[in-house]
Structure 1
Amino acid sequence: MKLNDTRRALMLGAAAATLLAACATTERDARAVLEQSDRAMGAGKLQTLRYAGRGAGGIFGQAFIPEQAWPRVAYMAFSRDIDYANAAMREEFVRTRTQSTGGGALPPLGMGDQRAVGLVRGTSAWNLAGTAASAAPVALDGRIHDLWTTPHGVIKAALKNGGTVRTEEGKSLVTFTEPGRFRATVWIGADGMVERVDSVQPNPVIGDTRVVTRYSNYRDHGGIKFPARIVQDQGGFNVLELDVTEVVPNAPVAIETPASVAAFTETVTVEKAADGVWFLAGGSHNSVAIEMKDHILLVESPLYDGRAQAVLAQANRLVPGKQVRSVINSHHHFDHAGGLRAAAAQGVALVVSEPSAGWFRRVLANPNTISPDALAASGRQAVLVPAAAPLHRIGDETRQVEIHLIGDSFHAQGYAMVWLPKERLLILADEYTPGPPNAPRPAQVNPNNLNLVRNIERLKLDVDRILPLHGRMVPVSELMAAVGR
């Protein structure tokens, strides 16, 4: 018996040693594969890079209906300027809608284009409007991912982080993790070219999010190989199909983090809209706090944990002894739903439209393993309250709150607005965003604005003021002026 035990122990020990040796060999082999690719593509000679092109894509997180493909756009111009040494990137594009439905900060179909500039350096992300910089912390993970999953960036990142390799379909597949940001598997062909990157990145709505990026038709640019075609899917649907028309290796790139961005913290301003009703602004997305008999009802928990936690903290300070117990979500687009996990982490019930409730139930149960969020840390599960369509009422002796679905919207299906009948206040998201004070009337009537007016009239709402979830609080007369009334 003892002899058999000894033999078994020796066999197990030998197996373990073999396994450890195999793992070590795998790591050495991964580095050899990466170094061969580095030489073949010229990555080691590349400090900066500019590439540009035209194509098509989809607006991530802005589907008209949950689980539908992202709304399609055409890219008239798209460029990236990358500084690998300083982990910095500038992305600039001009795009226009090619379908009428869905969200995103673009004009309606046929009414113009969207021009945007987004940047990242290190752990700061920001947007530019002219020369004005605004911090964009919700974009940080995505931009870091896009920087380090470029064909040369992914080789540099894998060499820095170490990984393992296996062979599949005649390709070398190297898997590595950029801690706290993404996990990736790089498909490298026999010629050393990066053909594909399968990655997983965190998302404040759907948790771990799969991304597949394909590179093809490599061309030589002074010893630097770069693909002429880039195709990327995110969350199961296409976001980019780019035909590359310009590649400039080691181009001059100067990206410095603005002082205002480096010093950014979430700020929540409070403006009283009526007795027991507060307009919470101070960022790109607003919320509204409503005092009920024994708690606070919050309309909208947007963007990501950081913004949502700041809004919840401010709302909880408004009335001594009353805390936020429920959040009403306007719709499923990711910028408006990105703070729901943070609310759920505090035990707050999530009131969502009945048509989107099943989708929310599924995605809020997804883990965020790459960068665990507040919900993961809390150990709680999201509690959902479907708002019965087309009208859902919440009330007590303090006040009545009505949730109406906006009919015939181009923006989203299952799209809610909140009506306070006593105060004559209407709270809504993207169907109407007021322009600057005293701005001239738009040359073309925005069909979303016109649809909102039709809904107000259909429901016979006697609106005094609009509390938009973007922009400033305005009298309803500004909406009417925008549609030519």
Structure 2
Amino acid sequence: MTRSTTMNLTIENAMTFVEKVAEKLGGANSIKEMTSLQMFGYGQYAYMWGGGNISASPDAPQKYMAANELQRNWNFKEDTFQMKERRNMLFPFAAEFGHAFYPLNQVLDGEIAYDILPDGTMKRVAEFLQDPLTVDGRRIRRLWSLTNPVVVLHELLNHKLTVEHIQEKTDLVELALATAAGDKLKFLVDKRSLLPEQIKWNTAQTNLGEVTFTTTFTGYMPFDDLHFPMGYSTKINFRDIVYFKVYVDGYRVNRDVKSVQAPEHIASADIPQEFLPPLSVERVDDGVWRIAGIGGTTVIEFDDHLTLFELYWNQTQAKAIIDLANTLVPGKKATDLIISHHHFDHTGGFRAAVAQGLRIYANRENEGILREMAQRETPDFEDIITPTTDRNFEFVPIDEHIRLEDSKTILDIYRVISNSHMADAVFAYLPQQQIFMDSDIATAGFDWQFWPDSYLDNLERYELQVSKVTTVHEKVLTHSEVLAYIEAGKQRIQERHVKYLGMNEYLPGFPVFRTRKDN
């Protein structure tokens, strides 16, 4: 067979082709009769889908999260799938949980998704969950369970997957597949070798609208007489980013696997909906409010409109924040959004702003990624940006400083300096009230200060006096409280540095770079 051979494949003979592929990987009957499969290894995720780097440039170095002690367990007798791993940031992260090798234990029992928490308790999981770091839920777990070529063949041979379409391409055969629940994926096989090459499926994503995962399999090796890939590389259709890499240590076939069937209290529990905490409003000063949910948005009143500083987390919360802000002052609506920087937690609500027609203020270097995000289509999922939305939002670039002023309010927007977390960022400042609007300058995380001089360096550069600080990640603080917050984080990070030096371990971000004389 050559790579250009036509195989004359149709829906009617698709299963004959599937059986040939199964024979190539160790035998159709052996794959069909599998009772369990375990995969062991380690992996790495692109942090925030590639949207958490030092800058928004496509050429910025990628930050990663480790997925150590990675294990995937399939129990075909019980129809369960389990994903276990320990996640840890491979770059300086301001919150301790990011460097705690936090254990994830995610289960799918039939169509019931639930988590086993570190303390052994369990909780039911929604049909779909999304945030700037990841997507999850019943459907997502089912599709991850099928992102394994031998598992796909097992499900096809046992008629748990249906071939909806088969298409010959130059080098590949593409099978469009569907589960009984209607979850869809594509299975691509090399025509010459008959080795499975890729699996593709898609998902909604709050920043990018819709994302396609393409997992490529490499390095097949035999385990218990079946052949499995030793490498998994999952790209997304956003800047060709490798979102997830798995390095396999090995597989076990038909061994005893611990039962993870959902107990009755989980199986009978209502399917939870997406959780968002109730929003609350705090008056910061005359004409200034902070709306708190997951993160915080500062609202500033002008003569005839409102301006928002930051729409954090995701589309759903952002839409609720905009709606709430629009009730604060009779006759005045939000028309403008200041985005501090491009990181996907801080632009999680950006698509909601586009849908509402808000004018966008941000560092000039972030215009490209914001327009890229706004233009992305969502053909298979409901999205806050609809086909009738004007995606060509008005963008006001910030280079060093601009001032927004009317008879009621003066608002300055400045470029951030002295920050190893975000190169192309801005902050906002109300000079009359001496209110500083912070996003990852001083209060990115409580535990550790990896850029401890950024706050004071910015105040000194722009000769600012501060009374209050409204934050995204914390509450409203006084200037003195922010200084104490930074100082405590400096002490904790120094203690961490000494601890790991004593173990002859050298962590990213250490020694902490300092710009001030008190270092």
String of CA shifts for 1:1-50, please: whole Å, max 9, x gaps. xxxxxxxxxxxxxxxxxxxxx9x963334444345556757664567654
Q: 1:137 to 1:75 in 2, by over 3 A?
A: closer
Q: Where do 1:26-41 residues align within 5 Å?
A: 26-34=10-18, 37=21, 40=25
Partner AA of 1:294 in structure 2: D
Give the match for residue 16 of structure 1. none
Q: Secondary structure, in 3 states, of the residue corresponding to 1:286?
A: strand
- 1:97 is the counterpart of 2:75: no
Deviation digits for residues 108-153 of structure 1, max 9, x if unmatched?
A: 9xx9555353747559788968669798533436944534434355
Q: Give, in whole Å, the separation in 1 of the partners of 2:471 and 2:35.
A: 45
Taking the aligned partners of 2:182 and 2:357, their CA distance within structure 1 comes to 25
Give 1:53's match in structure 2, choosing from 41, 51, 76: 41
Counterpart check, 1:461 vs 2:456:
no
Kindly report which structure 2 residues correspond to 1:35-184, keeping only aligned pairs within 5 A, or say none.
37=21, 40=25, 44-45=32-33, 50-59=38-47, 60=49, 61-66=51-56, 67-68=58-59, 69-81=61-73, 89-97=82-90, 112=99, 114-115=101-102, 117=104, 119=106, 136-138=129-131, 139-140=134-135, 143-144=140-141, 145-152=143-150, 154=152, 156=155, 160=161, 162-168=163-169, 171-176=172-177, 184=186
Structure ranking higher in helix proportion: 1
3-state DSSP of counterpart to 2:17: helix
Number of equivalent positions? 449
CA distance in 2, matches of 1:317, 1:244: 54
Aligned to 1:376: 386
> 1:231, 1:74 → 2: CA distance?
14
TM (norm. structure 2) is 0.73
Higher alpha-carbon deviation: 84-93 or 167-176: 84-93
Per-residue deviation at 1:336? Answer: 1.6
Match of 2:257 among 248, 251, 256: 251
Deviates more, 1:80-89 or 1:63-72: 80-89
Q: Distance in 2 between matches of 1:48 and 1:276?
A: 62
Greater mean alpha carbon deviation, residues 150-159 or residues 28-37 = 150-159
8 A contact 1:65–1:413 mirrored in 2: yes
Question: 241, 246, 249: which is aligned to 1:237?
Answer: 241
CA RMSD of aligned residues (A): 4.0
Unaligned runs of 5+ in 1: 1-21, 437-441
**DSSP-derived class of the 2:423 partner:** coil
Q: Deviations over 1:190-239 (max 9, x none)?
A: 67653322444433323443433222334455566533222223331223
Indicate yes or no: 2:417 matched with 1:407.
yes
2: CA distance, partners of 1:394 / 1:338: 25
Scaled by the length of structure 1, the TM-score of the pair is: 0.77
Residue 213 (1) aligns with residue 208 (2): no
Which of 265, 288, 300 is residue 310 of structure 2 equivalent to?
A: 300
Q: Provide, for residues 413-450 of structure 1, a one-character-per-residue CA deviation record: whole Å limited to 9, x for no partner.
A: 221222222232222223333767xxxxx5xx622233
* SS of structure 2 residue aligned to 1:163: strand
Range with bigger deviation, 205-214 or 329-338: 205-214
Residues 124, 140 of structure 1: 8 Å contact kept = no
Q: Is the 8 A contact 1:75 1:96 kept in 2?
A: no
Q: Distance in 2 between matches of 1:301 and 1:127?
A: 31
Contact residue 208 and residue 367 of structure 1 kept, 8 A: yes
DSSP-derived class of the 2:460 partner: helix
Percentage identity across aligned positions?
20
| Letter matched to residue 251 of structure 1 | V
